[in-house]
Amino acid sequence: SQTIHQWPATLVQPVGSPLSLECTVEGTSNPNLYWYRQAAGRGLQLLFYSVGIGQISSEVPQNLSASRPQDRQFILSSKKLLLSDSGFYLCACLAGGSTEAFFGQGTRLTVV
Amino acid sequence: KQEVTQIPAALSVPEGENLVLNCSFTDSAIYNLQWFRQDPGKGLTSLLLIQSSQREQTSGRLNASLDKSSGRSTLYIAASQPGDSATYLCAVRFQGGSQGNLIFGKGTKLSVKP
């Protein structure tokens, strides 16, 4: 089965600083990849998804962007962080031919 | 609008009890429903996946049922243990949604007391 790696596990960044969160997948090829954000007291919200290299779809307008430079690599970025970007960011994978989603261990981002 | 609701938001039970967590969804046109477990500060662990054509799935002490026509799913946990304490999330993949996107409920926080 696939394994999803996310790093870093925790991050504290000042307002206005850049952001780069990385997600890599092992054990599958050509997966659908997703970035979710989980804010306190709220459900998981889909931010971006990708069905292939260079293909990114955004679900909500925001201060963030995503890129998929390689088949099993998904990156979440920002040029200038806002306080409202704080949250728990989760990467998810839907492997080809499977309908079961798997998640990474998440990154806790605190913008101060 | 496609939504998923989980009731109750929190549940506290003594060790050994059988318990049921509820999930409801607004549109019966689904591909599948997935139950996850989340420990504090951690990612999501997949527990059970039920396809739209299935009525239930079992794994160990866990049993999940699906009634698509009424828009409901339940997660049954038998003989609960303190190690079952976590937040349980229900997620639905609706037909017509973004490429494989899961819509999540807000979860039920379960506490099993020794």
Reply yes or no on whether the pLDDT at B11 is more than 90. Answer: yes
Residues of chain A found within 8 Å of residue B6, distances taken between Cβ atoms: none
CA distance B101 to chain A (A): 7
Q: Is the pLDDT of residue B96 over 80?
A: no
Instruction: Work out the pLDDT band at A97, boundaries 50, 70, 90.
Output: low
**Strand extents, DSSP E, B19-61:** 19-25, 30-38, 44-51, 56-59
Query: Which residue, A16, A31, A13, is CA-closest to A102?
Result: A31
Mean pLDDT of chain A: 92
Q: Is the pLDDT of residue B76 over 90?
A: yes
First to last CA, chain B: 41
**How far is C-alpha A65 from the geometric centre of its chain's CA atoms?**
10
Residues of chain A contacting residue B106, judged by C-beta atoms under 8 Å apart: 41-43
Mutate to test the interface with A, among B25, B36, B44 (most CBs of A within 10 A): B44
Residue B66 is predicted with a pLDDT of: 97
pLDDT of residue A41: 74
Whether residue B43 and residue A106 make contact (CB cut-off 8 A), yes or no, is yes
Q: Given an 8 Å threshold on Cβ–Cβ distance, is A43 in contact with B104?
A: yes
- Looking at residue A96, its pLDDT comes to 64
The pLDDT tens digits for B38-71 are 999 899 999 999 999 999 999 999 999 999 999 9
Choice among A41-45, A86-90, A101-105, B20-24 with the minimum mean pLDDT: A41-45
Question: Taking CB atoms and an 8 Å limit, are B44 and A59 in contact across chains?
Answer: no
Query: How many Å lie between the alpha carbon of A43 and the closest alpha carbon of chain B?
Result: 4
Residue A98, pLDDT > 70, answer no
Whether residue B18 lies within 8 A of chain A, CB to CB, comes out as no
* Greatest distance between any 2 Cα atoms in chain A: 42
